Amino acid sequence: MRLFTYIVVFLLVFTSCKSNKSAATHTALKEMSAKKVAKKHVAHNFEEKTIDAKLKVDYKDNSEGLGFSVRMKIKKDEVIWLKGTKIITIFKAKITPDKVSFYSPYKRNYFEGDFSMLKKLLGTDITFQQLQNLLLGQAIFDVKSNRQNIEISQNSYQLSPKEQSDLFNAFFYINPNHYKLDKQSLVNPVKNQRLDISYPAYLNKKNIVFPNKINILAKENAKFTNIDLTVRSVDFNTNLDLNFSIPEGYKEIQL
């Protein structure tokens, strides 16, 4: 399994906690200013201290398809901890605002570096906060501080920066019920590249609205990567064991 597969898992998450009620579906949209929608989205940010989730991940690209399980633990604003298994442990990772660490008992190799590694893989800068927001159904860019255009699209409030990046155009589709994201998209029409992160369902557990499913689709010309993440269980505000150490004898890899 390629390292890219593992790293993509960092950008994602979630469905089907059968014991939990699904968050309400869309309601009728009414006209609203971009400033008000952005303010409501930020006001509904995820505020719990920790997350402990068990995920099912299905991966597919032009040449292969596979499925594996991931245990994901997040200490908000501090640590994202991941363990991937497919009968045996295939990778472990720990991400902090300053460092990205990864090792594979399957390959007996490891990597340690900073977020410039993710920039090389993704082709654009990304911070720990943006990565965390992706996992929580929140916009990766600040929609409140930057001026936004607004229109109604796909039964969502679509926000887009009045001044788009030189690298890509960003679009944020905000659910009119709970003001979390229905989807966020980055599009580079010149290079025929796009990344769509969709949140087709949310769960509501003890009044905490949390992504119940995430679908990621990355395209570049005829190439594609499709990842579906499903939550098998999730708990909030528990004590987390975030122990992580790279075993001796593993080979360091360079990216």
Task: Name, in order, each residue with C-beta under 8 angstroms of 179's C-beta and a sequence gap of 6 or more.
Answer: 37, 40, 41, 43, 44
Per-residue model confidence (pLDDT) at position 117: 65
CB 79 within 8 A of CB 97: no
Burial of 6 (0-12, 13-18, 19+ CB in 10 A): buried
pLDDT mean by block of 10 residues, the chain; 255 residues: 41 33 59 95 95 93 89 96 92 92 92 74 71 92 93 94 90 95 93 91 92 91 89 96 96 83
C-alpha 92, offset from chain centre: 17
The pTM assigned to this predicted structure is: 0.83
The residue among 76, 186, 202 whose CA lies nearest residue 137 is 202
Per-residue model confidence (pLDDT) at position 51: 97
- Domain 3-252 in CATH 1.10.150.110: no
CB atoms within 10 A of CB 121: 15
Per-residue model confidence (pLDDT) at position 9: 42
Cα atoms in the 13 Å half-sphere on the side-chain side of 198:
13
Residue spans of alpha helices (H) in 80-233: 116-122, 128-136
Q: 16 — alpha (psi -120 to 50), left (phi > 0) or beta?
A: left
Rounded Cα gap, residues 81 and 75, in angstroms: 9
Burial of 244 (0-12, 13-18, 19+ CB in 10 A): middle
In what helix (H) or strand (E) does residue 10 lie, and over which residues does it extend? none
Q: What is the chain's length?
A: 255
Per-residue model confidence (pLDDT) at position 241: 96
CB 110 within 8 A of CB 35: no
